[in-house]
């Protein structure tokens, strides 16, 4: 019995998967950008937008994780997409999405820069929608009027500062 217990402990210590590295994370994000249609559609719809992609709690434990993509576009908007994903940590691949995606469109209405250099924002019009509405936006070539959301075409002063402050620590694949 004691030999079996020692062998089990050795296997648990020696056979366990090493913690994922930053390189693993970047590779997984790159795979997700290719495989998750919503993420690649962002680049196609908003080619000049600052795009970010992340996985919440990557590598912490087995089980589904939340994929997040964000597009900063139009000089005042952020479009977020969230969907649960299954990850193969051995191959650094997104296996599949799980459940429906949720989309968040938010207008940044005011940007303020504090004396310490931090950037704050106030938000205006916003909406949350699903995959059915996203398909309407795609079919309308990025025109959110298709889902009854009006885009203000005037760029907002300080928006680029806001984008830089929110993407400074983002890891690109």
Please state the three-class secondary structure of 96-157 as a single string: EEEEEEEEEEEEEEEEEECCCCCEEEEEEEEEEECHHHHHHHHHCCCCHHHHCCCCCCCCCC
Contact (CB, 8 A) for 106 and 119? no
Among residues of the chain, what percentage have pLDDT more than 70? 88
Hunting for tokens 């830089």 — which residue is that?
164
pTM: 0.84
Between 136 and 22, residue with greater pLDDT? 136
Distance CA 15, CA 159 (A): 49
Contacts of 172 (CB under 8 A, 6+ apart): 26, 29, 52
CB 149 within 8 A of CB 127: yes
pLDDT tens digits, 38-90: 988 998 999 999 999 999 999 887 889 999 999 999 999 999 999 999 999 99
What's the pLDDT at 173? Answer: 63
Q: Which of 1-5, 35-39, 129-133 has the highest mean pLDDT?
A: 129-133
Other residues' Cβ atoms within 10 Å of the Cβ of residue 129: 18
Q: In what order do the strands lie in the sheet with 50-55?
A: 50-55, 65-73, 77-88, 93-113, 119-129
């Amino acid at each position: 019995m004691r030999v079996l217990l020692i062998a089990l402990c050795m296997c648990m210590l020696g056979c366990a998967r090493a913690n994922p590295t930053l390189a693993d994370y970047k590779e997984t994000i790159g795979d997700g950008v290719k495989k998750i249609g919503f993420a690649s559609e962002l680049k196609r719809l908003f080619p000049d937008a600052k795009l970010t992609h992340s996985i919440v709690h990557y590598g912490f434990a087995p089980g589904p994780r939340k994929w997040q993509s964000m597009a900063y576009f139009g000089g005042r908007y952020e479009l977020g997409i969230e969907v649960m994903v299954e990850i193969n940590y051995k191959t650094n691949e997104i296996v599949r999405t799980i459940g429906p995606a949720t989309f968040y469109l938010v207008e940044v209405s005011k940007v303020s820069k504090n004396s310490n250099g931090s950037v704050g924002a106030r938000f205006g019009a916003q909406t949350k929608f699903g995959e059915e509405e996203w398909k309407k936006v795609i079919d309308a070539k990025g025109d959110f009027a298709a889902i009854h959301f009006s885009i203000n075409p005037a760029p907002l002063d300080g928006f680029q500062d806001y984008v830089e402050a929110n993407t400074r620590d983002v890891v690109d694949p």
